[in-house]
Amino acid sequence: MLGIDDEFKKTRMYQSIKQDGLEEGRQEGRQEGRQEAKLEAIPRLLALGLSVEQVAVALDLTVAQVQQVAHNQSG
């Protein structure tokens, strides 16, 4: 026998909310992945001789973010 929760899960509203939540989670995951890739690229770009400012511009990060990663890598 289906309970109220089971019946609600069959509604369009529930399915829409569920789909929106899944899509939002996917987008957040992609954003986190892009940010992680940028942060991982910082040491390589600095090793190539780019300045902290150039790396920040190239990766669309702040100078402080680049300096923080550079400091963490050297320490």
The answer to whether residues 26 and 56 touch, using CB atoms and an 8 Å cutoff, is: no
Statement: the pTM of the whole predicted model exceeds 0.75: no
Could you report the per-residue pLDDT of 37-59, keeping only the tens digit for each? Answer: 999 999 999 999 999 999 999 99
How many angstroms separate the CA atoms of 5 and 7, rounded? Answer: 5
Could you report the per-residue pLDDT of 3-16, keeping only the tens digit for each? Answer: 667 777 778 877 88
